[in-house]
Amino acid sequence: MYESFIKEKSLPEAYHSALLELSKHGEVTSCGDYNQRQKELSMTMIVEEPLAEPMISRLIIGGFYELQQYVMEVLDGILDFKIGDSENAWEYTYHDRIANYAIEGRRLNQLQFVIDELKRNPDSRRAVIDIRDNRIDPFNSHPACLQNMQFFIRGGKLHMKVLMRSNDGVEATFMNAFAFIMLQKKVADTLGLPMGTYAHRANSFHCYEKDFGLLGQYINGIENKPLDEITYEYDGFFQGLMEEAIPEIERAVAKLRCIVGHPL
């Protein structure tokens, strides 16, 4: 499998370079679980300044509402109530596995563990959040794509490294990385540290056949338009749009909770 390594200053620049690599070097293989082909390689994507502007790529599925909702899912667990035994229930959410990981009848808030561990020993190599749960994922038709996160304090900054077993480059990667960077910022702010690098490793970085055309459109934009025409500034403009969407998202979630029988 082709190995690609990307290092760029900002998240959109890294994401766009990763898409270019996928388009150029991705191998077309079968994907039997989804009855189609895929273009695939292994990708390591380093963002040197995760909060650098422009921070938002326009080459994503959805907009400010969807991005804000996803951030709230990962950081706040707004859809954790969908986990359960009903017909349409989810097996997990990233937030639940981060904040409520089950261990021998106990519950561990892994994010709090990371914060406490880095306070205990700023040089620690133990500040790890595990997402994969081998009691569940081997038997789940949709096992967690995110496997683990690790945090390091080096050079007075908080660095974060993420491992994905599988990552949809066209439909998921940017939203994943943006939300994870927001989690990194939350930890950095709690510890009173500046942000370091963000590393995003996807063992299978891919595009499904149904999205080959969309990938082509993205590549056309990346190759033929200046960066400011395929990105947005987050600070101020896009952040404002995202924050304005929060009340509507909360209403939609409250309505969904009632429908599935989990009112507040």
Tens of pLDDT, residue by residue over 129-146, are 999 999 889 998 889 999
Q: Are strands 27-31 and 36-47 parallel, antiparallel or unpaired?
A: antiparallel
Classify residue 68: in a domain, yes or no. yes
- In-domain check, residue 16: yes
In a domain, 141, yes or no: yes
Q: Is 222 helix (H, G, I), strand (E, B) or coil?
A: helix
pLDDT at 262: 64
- Number of domains present in the structure of the chain: 1
Which pLDDT tens digit goes with each residue over 107-119? 999 999 999 999 9
Identify the pLDDT of residue 33. 86
The amino acid sitting at 182 is M
Residues in the chain: 264
Distances (CA, A) of 164 to 70, 104, 200: 17, 25, 8
pLDDT of 64: 98
Residue with tokens 């683990």: 148
Is 175 part of a structural domain of the chain? yes
SS (H, E, C) 128-176: EEECCCCCCHHHCCCCCCEEEEEEEEECCEEEEEEEECCEECCCCHHHH
Domain of 179 in residue numbering reads as 3-259
| pLDDT per residue as tens, the chain (264 positions) | 999 999 999 999 999 999 999 999 999 999 988 899 999 999 999 999 999 999 999 999 999 999 999 999 999 999 999 998 666 778 899 999 999 998 888 899 999 999 999 999 999 999 999 999 998 899 988 899 999 999 999 999 999 999 999 999 999 999 999 999 999 999 999 999 999 999 999 999 999 999 999 999 999 999 999 999 999 999 989 999 999 999 999 999 999 988 776 666
**pTM for this entry:** 0.96
Identify whether the C-beta of residue 44 lies closer than 8 Å to the C-beta of residue 5.
Answer: yes
- In sequence order, which ranges of 2-60 are alpha helices (DSSP H)? 11-25
CATH number at residue 112: 3.30.572.10
N- to C-terminal Cα distance for the chain?
Answer: 48
Judge whether 154 lies within some domain. yes
CA atoms 3, 196, 62, 20: torsion sign? negative
Q: Is residue 264 part of a domain?
A: no
pLDDT at 156: 98
CA distance 21 to 23: 5
